[in-house]
Structure 1
Amino acid sequence: MRPRVAVAVSGAFALVAALSACPANTGGSPSVDSGRQPTGVIATDPKDSTGPAPELAGARRGGTFTVLRETPISHLDPQRTYSFAGLMAVPLVARSLTTWKDDGAGNLTLVGDLAETPGRDVNDDCRIWEFTVKDGVRFEDGRPVTAREIAYGIARSFDPDLTGGPTYLQEWLADTPQYDTAWDFTANRGSLPPGLTTPDARTLRFEFARPRCDLPFAASLPSTAPLPPDRDTGVNLGNAPFSSGPYKVTRYRPGIEIVMERNEHWDAGTDPVRHQYPDRFVWSFGATPDAAANRIIADNGTDRSALSWDYVPASLVARVAGDAALRSRTLLSPTPSANHLVINNERVTDLRVRQALNHAIDREGLVKVLGGPHVAVPMTTLMPPATIGHRAYDAYPAGPNGDPDRARELLGGQRPELVLGAADSSVEQQVATQLKGNLERAGFVITIRNIPDDAKFDEIKKRGNPWDLYLSSWAGDWPSGASILPVLYDGRAIRATGNSNESYFNDATINAEFDRILALPPSEQGPHWARLDERIMREHAPVVPLYVDVAYLVHGSKAGGAFVSSVFGYPSLVDAHVEP
């Protein structure tokens, strides 16, 4: 086992040193920051978890900050929130046990949000954790937030009717992926799931059957948001969440808009991250990415204090990137969203065929099809560069445009006939066509089979699906290999439907490595995940890493303070304000 590496950094333990950065675009237009040295730390000094958040120079109170987005947020129920939009919107109205201080350049500190610290590992074995709830945190009606409301929020996430949210806490407490059968929320609404207790009003205690060293990270997800039982409206909570954050929902028009206004009971002195600058946030739905971007570029009326949530569409990238006047009104950042050509390992069982697939891909050509370096950056690892502990490598060097000769050599005269399942969306059809050309140049025979876009997500998660290859993407729920590699490649979790392990990869020695690394303190895990990343690719090649998404967004001239979240790759609004 690697010795514990604990480097003091401003009252925090460093989880890892520098991460890799995406390559720069050397043209005259803005480029992804290749000089960043992102780090992740867990705060150990309680002062890091206190408020108020430092004031932003030039920010003022007042005004309406508008977010334009094509599709609505499905709901704002914290226990069901798992979309990027939801994960960025819900923290405005709901606080969690822990949260991230994020400078927008990849430098992260995990701090206590509802809790005074990011948690206490009682016996230093990651099996028993305690969180002490801060004094002064209140709901929108003035009631204090206690451990009991936080525990109830976690308990309601066991309700099988409240689907869609993360399931880490439920599975860890129940010690099984079938958590909803291990403990029945409906039958036990007045109690708590096994392993979750509230010794007093300010103490929340977790007891796990096995080490859960990543609990402080998982506790940053909205599933730990508090809720009084008398304000639980079940499946309707997302229409009117009960606020513990700086804003509260005052108008919810499904599919049209959500209006959030100040929560007068929020105490900045308890909040280390959020501000309360705008009078209100308005989420406006319906404008296509092209229409929203064009409105923001025009910079008229209320659009001057608006942000287009959807990335700049490929049709407008050249225009926006080439306009020096828009430079100050764009956000450009690598994201943690990694895209892969997933290989169904239960159908494509020959390792040499999977290795040949990796050698065949023209990543530079693929990035061009997607819209260029403002849209995507090639990658050759399982974990994206934004992951704590990431280490760059290329297990199957193919140059920027692929190596069909090496692929054909590995195939040894075979011409494997493979079916590529692709969503019937325009973008995925373009990508599938590009990949088909790459693979056929290398000796494969590829048939593209279309999958309805709205069904693809569910269909590829069914074991025994009829495709050899399909496109998929993943962003970890926190920037650690723990929320990527075991989630995607632990074969013990494969079931009939709903699989995150879409490659259906299962290897006993790799599974054992997941258990070993997960039992390590988070401060030690980073390098181990990096080595395992490379080992999986070199020994098994279960997928073909393709590219990392790049966030490229445009905002109005008076929309200040937004930055791209280093955790989720979409706009964070905790510092958002309307400039004079």
Structure 2
Amino acid sequence: MRGLPQVKTRRVTAGVASVLALSLGAAACGGGGDDNDGGGSGKKDAALNSIVNASSKKGGTVSYEHSDVPDSLDPGNTYYGWVQNFSRLYGRTLTTFKPAAGKDGLTVVPDLAESLGKSSPDAKTWTYKLRAGVKFQDGKPVTSKDVKYAVERSNFAPEALSNGPTYFKSYLEGGDKYKGPYKDKSADGIKSIETPDDRTIVFKLKQPFADFDYLATFSQTAPVPQAKDDGAKYVQHIVSSGPYQFQSYEEGRGATLVRNPQWDPKTDPNRKALPDKVTIKFKVNQVTIDNDLLSDKITGDAAGTGVAPQTQPKVLAGKNAGQTDSSYAGATQYIALNLKVAPFDNIHCRKAVQWGLDKQSVLDAMGGTPKGDVATTLLPPSVNGYTKFDTYATEGNKGNAAKAKAELKECGKPNGFKTILTARSDRPAEVAQATAVQASLKKIGINVEIKQFPAGKYFSNFAGVPSYVHANKLGMLSMAWGADWPTGYGFLDQVVNGAAIKPSGGNNLMELDDPKINKALTDAIANTDDAARTKAWGEIDKMVLDNASVVPVVYRKNLLLRPKSATNVTVTQAYLGMYDYLLMGSSK
């Protein structure tokens, strides 16, 4: 998940629960208190495993700011983790992650559905029954057909909606043939999603998929009334099924959400919906956001990636240090080396970067230990299937110039080469990372030019568009990725599977399409043996590193800052270690 997500009993649960419990326990060592203790507003790391400033008071306005724009606030056209988190305010999905502190926040619970999915013995058929009485903001009942249509438009219409993942397209029977609702005008739609009555929806898969309840948490299952859909323009008049609806939306500027009078709390055990209003403003400089948090002018930074490197020393050394939470993001910051852009079509040129990069200097430039730990694998330690290894180990993570130069000679570039590295312009830590990479690689003769792009269009217009990447010779692409759900498949599939390469909006920025890796992913998710599947994820991670197209840099942490007026504040590991926006309130 761009930024990224326990759980039910069944084949995947035990391993995930143990790994995440350990990681959360480690993350929570810095402080906290008992859950819902209502205190801790001045305690560092208090929100890692408790709810800070717990309140049941209704009213007030929650205000967010963001340094850029979203890929889209349309639940069917987004992949950013913060939008997945934020969209739960106005879109209910079949299942969701429980709004709760600590490891309880990783529990998948029913949302629009009455219960978790009922699976066939072979995990190829999944059935959900919707709760009775759920309505859209216009008073019309939400039906299973509205959920089916939401999946169809979000997965099968790349000409209009290209930003989100395509798991449903990949796994539904006939998914490779269905043309999507804007081209296929038949009343039936895709036949492998059945709606035998208004409250029942059945998904028929072409192969076993043991993680389906995780997939059902995606905003793509938030219902959309077909009569109100107009493709990419739907974002301007989203029809709410949650406790809030849009009062206003201005492209590129922001939005205001107010109460949805048709929302019935009796049908929704997950949302308290305490604030009267939620506002969000886009294109605010990150340092300005940090200062607004420090002065208690806003409730939260919507991006959820933490304060800027230049703000960090002031925050940690000042009176506001007790209002910070150093949260593990369950995400890896890495550099994608595009296999279609010379000289990275040569594995030895890719290995030259692997050996030559001083990762410690990169972490230091990003803000040091509060921003994370040096990464040696693509999978972060909090994801089920993580295996500790270091294919390109160097002393102190400082790089090895001799080995790098030997690889340069092997790739026919003994004197080095020129390339371009992308970074998102509104993310100071990523720009700092790029600058450090540039300085590090220059020492071995690789001259890196940095080109910056806006985060909101980074995947749809630039780094995620192969034709643009090739035409502009973007050989190195900055990337941060968190698990769509906390298993190896939930992390790896959309970034290393050849099937994830798209004309735009893609996340496989390396354009890695290795038949052995693709097959290993498919075989593993179909394996009903928990231990074998878990082992497979680590083996696939090693295959990716052997290919050398991914350069892991940092296992991400976020130095989050909560103002004193924020209530019900807790970190959710389900959404990349940001605060849970479904719970957050304000005393203002």
Q: TM-score if structure 2 supplies the norm length? A: 0.81
Asked if 2 retains the 8 angstrom alpha-carbon contact of 1:25 and 1:31, the reply is: no
Asked if 1 retains the 8 angstrom alpha-carbon contact of 2:349 and 2:408, the reply is: no
- Give the match for residue 395 of structure 1: 391
Asked if 1 retains the 8 angstrom alpha-carbon contact of 2:52 and 2:570, the reply is: no
Asked if 2 retains the 8 angstrom alpha-carbon contact of 1:97 and 1:112, the reply is: yes
Q: Secondary structure at the match of 2:370?
A: coil
Unaligned runs of 5+ in 2: 1-5, 32-41
- Give the match for residue 114 of structure 1: 112
- Deviation, 1:84, is 3.1
Asked if 2 retains the 8 angstrom alpha-carbon contact of 1:419 and 1:469, the reply is: no
Deviates more, 1:327-336 or 1:375-384: 327-336
- Deviation, 1:99, is 0.7
For residues 492 and 191 of structure 1, do their structure 2 counterparts lie closer, same or farther at Cα, with a shift above 3 Å needed? closer
- Give the match for residue 332 of structure 1: 326
1:306 counterpart = 2:308: no
- Give the match for residue 570 of structure 2: 563
Asked if 2 retains the 8 angstrom alpha-carbon contact of 1:353 and 1:411, the reply is: yes
Q: Secondary structure at the match of 1:78?
A: coil
For residues 104 and 407 of structure 1, do their structure 2 counterparts lie closer, same or farther at Cα, with a shift above 3 Å needed? farther
Q: CA deviation digits over 1:534-575, x for unaligned, max 9?
A: 531564333221013322232321111233331332332111
Letter of the aligned partner of 1:375 in structure 2?
K
1:370 counterpart = 2:366: yes
Q: Secondary structure at the match of 1:153?
A: helix
Asked if 1 retains the 8 angstrom alpha-carbon contact of 2:422 and 2:476, the reply is: no
Q: CA deviation digits over 1:123-152, x for unaligned, max 9?
A: x22221111111232222333322122122
For residues 524 and 151 of structure 1, do their structure 2 counterparts lie closer, same or farther at Cα, with a shift above 3 Å needed? farther
- Deviation, 1:496, is 6.8
Asked if 1 retains the 8 angstrom alpha-carbon contact of 2:118 and 2:127, the reply is: yes
- Give the match for residue 19 of structure 2: 18
Letter of the aligned partner of 1:291 in structure 2?
T
Q: Distance in 2 between matches of 1:473 and 1:385?
A: 15
- Give the match for residue 440 of structure 2: 438
1:448 counterpart = 2:448: yes
Letter of the aligned partner of 1:169 in structure 2?
F
Query: Given the alignment, which residue of 69, 73, 76 partners 1:76?
Result: 73
Letter of the aligned partner of 2:560 in structure 1?
L
Query: Given the alignment, which residue of 79, 91, 95 partners 1:94?
Result: 91
**Equivalent residues in 2 for 1:49-448, closer than 5 Å:** 57-73=54-70, 75-101=72-98, 103-107=100-104, 108-122=106-120, 124-157=121-154, 158-159=156-157, 160-173=159-172, 175=174, 181=179, 183-188=180-185, 190-299=187-296, 303=297, 306-310=299-303, 311-323=306-318, 325-345=319-339, 347-348=343-344, 354-404=350-400, 407-408=403-404, 411=407, 415=414, 417-423=416-422, 427=428, 430-441=432-443, 444-448=444-448
Q: CA deviation digits over 1:481-503, x for unaligned, max 9?
A: 21332322234655776653332
1:462 counterpart = 2:466: yes
Residue-pair matches, total? 547
- Give the match for residue 34 of structure 2: none
For residues 400 and 522 of structure 1, do their structure 2 counterparts lie closer, same or farther at Cα, with a shift above 3 Å needed? farther
Q: Secondary structure at the match of 2:57?
A: coil
Letter of the aligned partner of 1:335 in structure 2?
A
Q: Distance in 1 between matches of 2:566 and 2:334?
A: 34
Q: Distance in 2 between matches of 1:475 and 1:140?
A: 32
For residues 116 and 338 of structure 1, do their structure 2 counterparts lie closer, same or farther at Cα, with a shift above 3 Å needed? same
Q: Secondary structure at the match of 1:260?
A: strand
For residues 228 and 338 of structure 1, do their structure 2 counterparts lie closer, same or farther at Cα, with a shift above 3 Å needed? same
* RMSD (Å), alpha carbons: 3.7
Asked if 2 retains the 8 angstrom alpha-carbon contact of 1:331 and 1:554, the reply is: yes
- Deviation, 1:240, is 2.4
Q: Secondary structure at the match of 2:477?
A: strand
- Give the match for residue 43 of structure 1: none
Q: Distance in 1 between matches of 2:232 and 2:500?
A: 28
Q: Distance in 1 between matches of 2:337 and 2:276?
A: 49
- Deviation, 1:403, is 4.0
For residues 156 and 165 of structure 1, do their structure 2 counterparts lie closer, same or farther at Cα, with a shift above 3 Å needed? same
Q: CA deviation digits over 1:383-423, x for unaligned, max 9?
A: 12232332333233223342415625853965363443223
Asked if 2 retains the 8 angstrom alpha-carbon contact of 1:59 and 1:577, the reply is: no
For residues 218 and 525 of structure 1, do their structure 2 counterparts lie closer, same or farther at Cα, with a shift above 3 Å needed? farther
Asked if 1 retains the 8 angstrom alpha-carbon contact of 2:210 and 2:526, the reply is: yes
- Deviation, 1:251, is 2.5
Q: Distance in 2 between matches of 1:568 and 1:251?
A: 25
Q: CA deviation digits over 1:145-193, x for unaligned, max 9?
A: 22122122223333432332332223333655x6664x45344263321
Q: Secondary structure at the match of 1:80?
A: coil
- Deviation, 1:77, is 2.1
Deviates more, 1:557-566 or 1:16-25: 16-25
Letter of the aligned partner of 1:289 in structure 2?
Q
Q: Distance in 1 between matches of 2:450 and 2:548?
A: 25
Letter of the aligned partner of 1:404 in structure 2?
N
- Deviation, 1:8, is 9.0
Q: Distance in 2 between matches of 1:161 and 1:504?
A: 22
Q: Distance in 1 between matches of 2:448 and 2:52?
A: 53
- Deviation, 1:13, is 4.4
- Deviation, 1:326, is 1.5
- Deviation, 1:298, is 2.0
Asked if 2 retains the 8 angstrom alpha-carbon contact of 1:62 and 1:279, the reply is: yes
Amino-acid identity (%): 24
Q: Secondary structure at the match of 1:126?
A: coil
1:573 counterpart = 2:581: yes
- Give the match for residue 482 of structure 1: 489
Q: TM-score if structure 1 supplies the norm length? A: 0.82
Query: Given the alignment, which residue of 544, 549, 561 partners 2:556?
Result: 549
Letter of the aligned partner of 1:446 in structure 2?
I
For residues 264 and 61 of structure 1, do their structure 2 counterparts lie closer, same or farther at Cα, with a shift above 3 Å needed? same
Asked if 2 retains the 8 angstrom alpha-carbon contact of 1:363 and 1:378, the reply is: yes
Deviates more, 1:462-471 or 1:251-260: 462-471
Letter of the aligned partner of 1:528 in structure 2?
K
Asked if 1 retains the 8 angstrom alpha-carbon contact of 2:299 and 2:563, the reply is: yes
- Deviation, 1:100, is 0.9
Asked if 2 retains the 8 angstrom alpha-carbon contact of 1:96 and 1:220, the reply is: yes
- Deviation, 1:220, is 0.9
Q: Secondary structure at the match of 2:109?
A: strand
For residues 104 and 418 of structure 1, do their structure 2 counterparts lie closer, same or farther at Cα, with a shift above 3 Å needed? farther
Letter of the aligned partner of 2:299 in structure 1?
A
Q: Secondary structure at the match of 1:18?
A: helix
For residues 71 and 484 of structure 1, do their structure 2 counterparts lie closer, same or farther at Cα, with a shift above 3 Å needed? same
For residues 31 and 351 of structure 1, do their structure 2 counterparts lie closer, same or farther at Cα, with a shift above 3 Å needed? farther
Q: Secondary structure at the match of 1:14?
A: helix
- Deviation, 1:312, is 1.2
Asked if 2 retains the 8 angstrom alpha-carbon contact of 1:355 and 1:410, the reply is: no
